[in-house]
Amino acid sequence: MKLPVIKHLTQFIEENDQDYILETIETLEALTEVPSLKDEELDVIGELISNMYGAIEVDKMIKEEGMDKKAALNAFMKRVLGSIDK
């Protein structure tokens, strides 16, 4: 996951709608079914999907928990890094 990408996608959600991201995730997940994709291509698609889910999670923290964007981004990344360390 890349914080700058999640930050950019979170801004996109603020300016547009979360549905665009959810539909894009569905499209990318459908693409993973293509049997001729190489592992590297699947890795890229997986990274994109992860960043999009991260942006949705950050948006949720902002809207439901009332956090400001910077605090939500930091809290999310701290949570991700904490789960990696376990």
pLDDT in tens, 27-56: 999 999 999 999 999 999 999 999 999 999
pLDDT value at 12 more than 70: yes
| Confidence bin at 82 (pLDDT 50/70/90) | confident
pLDDT of residue 21: 98
Q: Between 76 and 1, where is the model more confident?
A: 76
CB 64 within 8 A of CB 46: no
What sign has the CA pseudo-torsion 48, 50, 53, 57?
negative
pTM of the model: 0.89
